[in-house]
């Protein structure tokens, strides 16, 4: 337990920051999940929009330091390449 006023304040800040970070991470995971489902589905317009939203959420979380920048870049790259692969016409 905190014994000094400054330690009590740091604890209050930690609680607020943790809640905010958890909410942002949850929103990012939801956006990425929706994008993956949309890419697997048949509608290319909806897939494009959901991938764009997921990329935006990932970039925002990375810029705030909530997730590592390389992680955001990697996930964005993977969902965008999946969208490109899904939107390509079938060979044959």
Domain annotation covers residue 70: yes
* pTM > 0.75: yes or no: yes
> If you average pLDDT over residues 12-31, what whole number do you get?
97
The pLDDT tens digits for 37-90 are 999 987 888 999 999 999 999 999 999 999 999 999 999 999 999 999 988 876
pLDDT at residue 92 tops 60: no
Q: Please check whether residue 62 lies inside any domain of the structure.
A: yes
- What's the start-to-end Cα distance of the chain, in Å? 68
Structural domain count of the chain: 1
If pLDDT is split at 50, 70 and 90, which confidence band does 27 have? very high
Position 87 scores a pLDDT of 84
Per-residue pLDDT, 63: 97
Q: Is residue 46 part of a domain?
A: yes
Full residue range of the structural domain in which residue 80 is found: 42-85
Is 9 inside a domain boundary? no
Residue 8 lies in a domain: no
pLDDT of 44: 87
Distance from C-alpha of 11 to C-alpha of 14, rounded to nearest angstrom: 5
């Amino acid at each position: 337990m905190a014994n000094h006023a400054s330690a009590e304040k740091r604890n209050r800040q930690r609680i607020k920051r943790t809640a905010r970070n958890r909410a942002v991470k949850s929103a990012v995971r939801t956006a990425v999940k929706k994008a993956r489902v949309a890419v697997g589905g048949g509608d290319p317009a909806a897939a494009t929009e959901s991938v764009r939203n997921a990329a935006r959420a990932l970039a925002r979380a990375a810029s705030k330091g909530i997730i590592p920048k390389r992680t955001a870049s990697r996930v964005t790259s993977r969902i965008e390449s999946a969208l490109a692969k899904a939107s390509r016409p079938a060979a044959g």
